[in-house]
Structure 1
Amino acid sequence: MLRNETKIWLDHIIADSSLGRRMLYRLNLNSLRHIYYLITPSETMFETVDEVPNYTAQVSLWWLLFVVVEFCLLLLRGHADRFALNDSVTSISAGILSQCFKFGGRTIAIFVYEYIWNNFRLIDNSWDSSLTWTFCLFFQGLYLPSLQIGFFWGIHTIHHSSEYFNYTTALRQAAIQDVGLAVYDVLQAFFIPPPIFLVHRYFSEIYQFTLHTTLFDNYGRLGIILNTPSHHRVHHGRNPYCIDRNYAAVFIIWDKMFGTFEPERQLEKPVYGTINQERTFNQIYLQFHTLYELLFVKWRMKTEKGEWMFRGVEKLKAIYYPPIYMPGMKVQPYFHWFSMVDHEEGIPMIEDEVVRYNPEISIWKKIYCFGHFLLLLALFFHFEFDRSQLSYFDFSLKLAFFIATMQCLGAFFDRNVSIHAGKPF
């Protein structure tokens, strides 16, 4: 009896339909080259968006393998300080949350995108046109000056909140980031077919994962055109010279064209994080507090004399102007919006001794948290494989479990210290 039950259990474990077997199928050379955007038009052209694979899910296991390899290499090179358990768990948890809020694994914009394409397109480009495919490649590679808009920065802040720069930082994405990106995504709907757009949307995000590491610098002469880890480290720095620089997604040439390129300084390495240090690992707080402050706090600020700092139309500027903007600061027209005349204005200098937020907890609590995080990760992979078959109730139940687990882990890492007294979260 016991032998038969063991055999049945093992059959389930190694069956083709098992999670482990399905995940291993994704560890192939095709999905590996996808990480570096090494694709051809012929293999990535589809007539409808429903035919477009979820390329993000296909490379997800490679991403985790990259994280493990990077950690081992940094450890061997004596750079263990470039990783932290609390930070990495928080970053990967944010990535899980961002994927949960995609509909069927796809960007939210695709629904509006298809409507605009079907009803208002200006050019009737074919879905199997190599020329259109190539044009979209460069358009998707365009940088994202949307971060000059306070509202969009409020959505994106969590990605910059890590004080480390490694592959887990790449996964530290906003749960509702597609809401902000949708404004830019749908601009392509007037002339680029939805399947081509969706393919490049996937690969643009996937390629950016490779930029979040200190293991590599530039890619030789390719770094003249392509975005590289060195270029992107500047984008994540809070040093005054790093602010509002190197917005590129894939092609750094756009920053060079629009005057926002800044090379990494060897004598002043980027220090990572936001200019106001995030002193928590609370996932919900990190996801939404900057957006909350921009929408409900900043425009109601008062001077020491009790007078409104933002008056009349200035209240809208508090939300939509560059996030650092305060009354009296000078802005200039830039691209399609405004930027600061002096991008270093109001940015504090890097302190002499940089102290990261890293509350000490016992090794047993770390093991406990890591064990629960691995369980969370396994359940998420099950969720990703089966989400199309889940009812709304089951989907909501799993999402609630994910969020509750993330909040508990954050509380452990914060040592249950209440640091947000009087704040909304």
Structure 2
Amino acid sequence: MVSDLLAAVSFRVRAAFYALTPAEAFCGALGSTPNFLSEAFPVILLLAAVEALYIRAKGRDDQWRLHEVVVNISSMGLANGSALVLFRGAELGLYTYVYENWRVATLPWDSRLTYLYALLAVEFAAYWWHRAAHEVALLWSAHHVHHSSEDMNMFVAPRVSIFRPFYKWAFYVPLVVLGLPPATMVVHMQLGVIYTAWTHNDTIPKLSKVVPYLGHAIEFVMVTPSHHRVHHGANKYCLDKNYGMVLIVYDRLFSTFAEEKEDEPIVYGTLKQRDSYDIIGVQVEPARELWAKVRSMRTLGDMARALFYGPGWVPGAPRLGREEDVPCVKGRKKHQFNVPAWFSFYLLVNALSVFCCYLEVNSRYNEMDKWQPIVLVAYLALAYAAVGALFDGRRHGPRLEVARLLLFLLLSRAYPLFEAPAVNQAHALVCGLSLLLSPAVASASASRAARRAAAAAAEKEEEKAE
């Protein structure tokens, strides 16, 4: 009994750090692919909680802020929920079709050599999609959301884009053409994503400081928190560096590696940092800005370049823009989220309650009719739009919030789908209590809007004075 428990814990821990044996990762068919994320999730959550407690104990509250965590988790629910409905296995079906009809070789799925090849090949594909997401403006408009957090902790890892599934698959298709079994590829894709959780970390120092010789060796081959801190930095030396997800060797090979500097604190976020916590807005605003840039171009060629050159490109500049045009962001202060504690708690409870609805959809997806997950994911979008509008103090926020609360209560009465599962019953209770607070919520949201407007006006005055 004890040995079985220890074996299960060991498996979960090793899954979180890409440390499973080849035999444990062997998988012959997509239908039998293990859900390694579910296995590793308790370990990741425990590590994230320990990190949060450590940050708080050290008095570094600016590196773990609750409103940022809420946006991060909500982004994951929105992105994964929409992908679940929009793609419904299409990506896996594509890999299977290409493998069965167009592959030029056949690699055994239960070979140690195939395991090693898969590790290197999947990481190679991940390096290039990640690099393309930074160097192609159209793809950056999607990837931007992951870099928009001003904090750096393990809860930043799930802050992903709803648009990522539209392009990421293209970088993995060549691997199945070359004979990598789709199930093997998906296993390594899972393990690679899981590994990135611990690298989103501003607490763990360079491993070479902790374990002098072994740490140097690990940092030469593997991506570590120090490497990934650089990737998330807005400092000039950090931009477009350290794309690796698991291995840092491709960055060293293709000259995109940068060492973390001891004498220059990293500023996290994007170059043009927004004072916004709108869950929907952080997803779609970069695309709106890109479209405005495209429309401002005078020729079709420049329109195409605005889409497919770097996000910093302007007419007459090199593909990735001019280095001298990049602003210096050293020492930049973070935007503050100043609201009453009860209002912050209200947003937290509702955002997490909505996220639990996503988990419910995900757990019962295969049991549902086609229309049922669509309705629930549409509700997720509406709910996050309402909560996000309240986050940002938008005028329509309180009205939208009341509308989504009433809608869910009506749906939970009209359809057993919404009424039966315990999590949806709990969410209905949260919605009912939230309705009672709607006048106070509207007042708090209006106060936040007024403060933001005053701050924006003061910032404009400062710019004029300069």
TM range (shorter): 0.7 to 0.9
2:444 match = none
Q: Secondary structure at the match of 1:101?
A: helix
Taking the TM superposition and a 5 Å limit, the aligned residue runs for 1:211-290 are: 211-219=199-207, 220-221=215-216, 222-290=218-286
Between the aligned partners of 2:160 and 2:28, the Cα distance in structure 1 is 30
Q: Secondary structure at the match of 2:350?
A: helix
Between the aligned partners of 1:149 and 1:107, the Cα distance in structure 2 is 27
What letter matches 2:201 in structure 1?
T
Q: Please point out which of 358, 361, 378 is paired with 1:380.
A: 358
Between the aligned partners of 2:389 and 2:26, the Cα distance in structure 1 is 45
What letter matches 1:378 in structure 2?
C
Q: Secondary structure at the match of 2:193?
A: helix
Give the C-alpha shift of residue 185 in structure 1: 1.2
Give yes or no for contact 2:223–2:244 (8 Å, CA) kept in 1. yes
Taking the TM superposition and a 5 Å limit, the aligned residue runs for 1:413-424 are: 413-416=391-394, 417=449
Task: Check if 1:368 corresponds to 2:368.
Answer: no
Size of the aligned set, in residue pairs, is 379
> So what's the TM-score if we normalise by structure 2?
0.76
Give yes or no for contact 1:158–1:287 (8 Å, CA) kept in 2. yes
Give yes or no for contact 1:361–1:415 (8 Å, CA) kept in 2. no
Between the aligned partners of 1:216 and 1:140, the Cα distance in structure 2 is 26
Give yes or no for contact 1:108–1:179 (8 Å, CA) kept in 2. no
Between the aligned partners of 1:218 and 1:106, the Cα distance in structure 2 is 41
1:37 match = 18
Task: Check if 1:402 corresponds to 2:389.
Answer: no
Q: 1:158 to 1:254 in 2, by over 3 A?
A: same
Give yes or no for contact 1:159–1:174 (8 Å, CA) kept in 2. yes
User: Which range is displaced more, 356-365 or 88-97?
Assistant: 356-365
Give the C-alpha shift of residue 130 in structure 1: 1.9
Between the aligned partners of 2:389 and 2:64, the Cα distance in structure 1 is 19
Between the aligned partners of 1:404 and 1:58, the Cα distance in structure 2 is 31
Q: Secondary structure at the match of 2:140?
A: helix
Give the C-alpha shift of residue 108 in structure 1: 5.2
CA offsets, 1:55-95, max 9 Å, x none? 22333333333322211110111111111121110011111
Q: 1:347 to 1:260 in 2, by over 3 A?
A: same
Give yes or no for contact 1:359–1:415 (8 Å, CA) kept in 2. no
2:327 match = 348
Q: Secondary structure at the match of 1:283?
A: coil
Q: 1:140 to 1:174 in 2, by over 3 A?
A: same
> So what's the TM-score if we normalise by structure 1?
0.83
Between the aligned partners of 1:383 and 1:65, the Cα distance in structure 2 is 24
Give yes or no for contact 1:109–1:179 (8 Å, CA) kept in 2. no
1:125 match = 107
Give the C-alpha shift of residue 370 in structure 1: 2.0
Between the aligned partners of 1:328 and 1:381, the Cα distance in structure 2 is 48
Give yes or no for contact 2:28–2:110 (8 Å, CA) kept in 1. yes
1:18 match = none
Give the C-alpha shift of residue 111 in structure 1: 2.1
Q: 1:396 to 1:61 in 2, by over 3 A?
A: farther
1:51 match = 32
Q: Secondary structure at the match of 1:188?
A: helix
Taking the TM superposition and a 5 Å limit, the aligned residue runs for 1:63-102 are: 63-102=44-83
1:316 match = 304
Give the C-alpha shift of residue 397 in structure 1: 2.4
2:295 match = 300
Q: 1:402 to 1:103 in 2, by over 3 A?
A: closer
Give the C-alpha shift of residue 253 in structure 1: 1.1
Between the aligned partners of 1:255 and 1:345, the Cα distance in structure 2 is 23
Between the aligned partners of 1:33 and 1:406, the Cα distance in structure 2 is 34
Taking the TM superposition and a 5 Å limit, the aligned residue runs for 1:330-341 are: 330-331=318-319, 339=320
Gapped regions of structure 2 (runs ≥ 5): 208-214, 395-448, 454-466
Give the C-alpha shift of residue 107 in structure 1: 7.4
Give yes or no for contact 1:155–1:180 (8 Å, CA) kept in 2. no
Give the C-alpha shift of residue 45 in structure 1: 1.5
Give yes or no for contact 1:47–1:195 (8 Å, CA) kept in 2. yes
Higher-RCO chain (CA-CA 8 Å, sequence separation at least 6)? 1
Give the C-alpha shift of residue 351 in structure 1: 5.5
Between the aligned partners of 1:363 and 1:299, the Cα distance in structure 2 is 42
Give yes or no for contact 1:167–1:210 (8 Å, CA) kept in 2. yes
Give yes or no for contact 2:105–2:177 (8 Å, CA) kept in 1. yes
User: Which range is displaced more, 401-410 or 65-74?
Assistant: 401-410
Gapped regions of structure 1 (runs ≥ 5): 1-23, 302-308, 332-338, 421-425
Between the aligned partners of 2:145 and 2:45, the Cα distance in structure 1 is 20
1:13 match = none
1:137 match = 119
Q: Please point out which of 144, 147, 152 is paired with 1:157.
A: 144
What letter matches 1:40 in structure 2?
T
Give yes or no for contact 2:11–2:20 (8 Å, CA) kept in 1. no
Give the C-alpha shift of residue 310 in structure 1: 4.5
Give the C-alpha shift of residue 268 in structure 1: 1.2
Give yes or no for contact 1:83–1:164 (8 Å, CA) kept in 2. yes
Q: 1:406 to 1:254 in 2, by over 3 A?
A: same
Q: 1:240 to 1:63 in 2, by over 3 A?
A: same
Give yes or no for contact 1:101–1:176 (8 Å, CA) kept in 2. no
Q: Please point out which of 139, 146, 158 is paired with 2:132.
A: 146
Task: Check if 1:326 corresponds to 2:307.
Answer: no
Between the aligned partners of 1:174 and 1:159, the Cα distance in structure 2 is 7
2:170 match = 183
Q: Secondary structure at the match of 1:57?
A: helix
Taking the TM superposition and a 5 Å limit, the aligned residue runs for 1:189-208 are: 189-191=176-178, 192-208=180-196
Give the C-alpha shift of residue 326 in structure 1: 0.9
1:174 match = 161
Give yes or no for contact 1:107–1:178 (8 Å, CA) kept in 2. no
Q: 1:125 to 1:103 in 2, by over 3 A?
A: farther
Between the aligned partners of 1:254 and 1:318, the Cα distance in structure 2 is 27
1:4 match = none
